[in-house]
Amino acid sequence: MSYEDFTIKKTQDVFQIEIIEKPGIFAGIDEKAISWHLADILEENVPLATSINTEKARSELIISPILVELRRIFDRKISLFSGIELNVDME
């Protein structure tokens, strides 16, 4: 089954998962300054992404650069799977 077929509700039902929202979960984490490189990219990309106004544009022009910056901050200990289909076995 394709990942896109899953919903939060379906996932909760199938895997008997309870979602507990906890406000302030990141309150104890120190702020981290972004690199000048990301600041430049976002300065250029955000107006473009908002003018195109599609989920794909926002993903490519805003979210992806932020995720790459997080990867840099975490010393490349995380990865990205952009465009890779993550199928889930029904069983």
Residue 91 above 80 pLDDT?
Answer: no
42-74 residue pLDDT tens = 999 999 999 999 999 999 999 999 999 999 999
**pLDDT confidence band for 2 (50 / 70 / 90):** low
50 CB-near residues (< 8 Å, 6+ apart) = 58
pTM (2 decimals)?
0.67
User: Is 88 within 8 Å of 15 (Cβ atoms)?
Assistant: no
The CA distance from 79 to 72, in Å, is: 10
Q: Where are the domains of the chain?
A: 32-91
